[in-house]
Structure 1
Amino acid sequence: MPLFPGSLLIQMLARLTPEDKVLALRHKLVPVAFLPGLTVYGAVTQASFHEAERRGLRVVARIDIATYRQAVRRVLGRSMLRHAVNQLALIQPENSARRRLLPEQFLWLVILGLAVLAAAIAGSKGQVLLGLSVAAGIFFAMAVAIRLLALTPAVSRRQPHPAPLSHDDLPVYSVLVPLFRETAVLNQLIGGLMSLNYPALCIKRTKRPEVGREVEGISLPRCCPQLASPTSRRCQFF
């Protein structure tokens, strides 16, 4: 497959639509030619070829990964940086630190400044200093309270337990336990199977004579008469 030239790659990246830009950056599939009713692509990595095959896109050229990175930095570098820096402020301004003060915070600062100015005009210097000291102490106490609150364990909400399923709603399982010259562990094996916490436990004996004789001497709480009984919920076979 021919190698797509880097000079043409820069031109193609500059003409990308928003949909093609997502495809080029996320999957490294770049449109290299536009034909009537058909767009052909260049792929950068092996994963790009697989993605093109999955989407039914036609790949006619391969793109060197170093050339691709240089072209992306040159054409899309500034827009990608601008998107990374400003996108949170655009879509979720309440979670962005770009705006240092909210309008409510700015309003309270103005009110506080006016109050300090009024106190300075109406009162003495000592009273103003006392008021500023009290305000600074309150601010410091609030900062300490926030830090202490961050150290406390989070309050976890107890999730309601789902209602237990009825026996008829439980899935049906068939557990096959193969044994080959291991009849000596049958008692231990059956004890482990019987301890399973699952309704309507069913034990099915095998027709193999060497295992069947060993099972005959073991007391089983219940036994299914058929290999796949429609009323059984879980079966073990020996």
Structure 2
Amino acid sequence: MKIGLITLLLFCGTATFAQSFKYPILNPQGKTIKSLIPAQWKVIDSVYGDLNNDKVEDLALIYEFYAAVKENRAYGDNTTELITEIQRPRILAVYFKSGRSYKLVTQNNNFILRSEEGGSMGDPLRPLAITDNVLNLAFEGGANWRWKLNYSFKYQDKDWQLTKASNYSYHSGSGDMNSKRYDFVNKKRIITIGKINNKDSGNEIIEQNLTFKTLRTFSSFKKPWTWELGPDEFL
């Protein structure tokens, strides 16, 4: 009887907590990573590098909440195909170095895939990277068919614009592969179809023009797999 009552109380507490979950407003500045971490969150990845071309190393962090909660996550597009899942929320936070402090310039609660969104391969998150003033995000997952997603965001015009991306998929058994590389600045798409062990000469390579009005940003491209560039082509 006591065990049943305790279980009921724990369930009710979890349900109430899930319904009341709110993302924190991050500390606007701090001198160390420790001073930036919100209560009940932890840092699961970090990277230093110059993001605003001022020759000073900035900072990007990924925070994860300590417990699983209910989240409505988009699949297929940004608005209509929402699936409620129980998982630990994640936050991407970017800070510019100013003097001796790091000042928050971006808090994104949606774009980073959660630990349960990688399929049978487990957590899809791959390490952050900063190269040539560009923030690079990478994810990997799947089962027999596996996928790798890469996104390059550059801070320009006071926003984070998606300049390059890639969507690579392959079959772990047959070696069949399909690679799409996107250059959004020059509006080009390069498609490679063939086998993972082939040299380029052994695969089919197609170059196409891209048509879109403006570069996507974190606000207009909420999370991976939600931008439909064409029929059955999601990024």
Give the TM-score taking structure 1 as reference length: 0.15
Larger Rg: 1
Q: If each structure's helix is expressed as a fraction of its own residues, which one has the higher value?
A: 1
Q: If each structure's strand is expressed as a fraction of its own residues, which one has the higher value?
A: 2
Give the TM-score taking structure 2 as reference length: 0.15
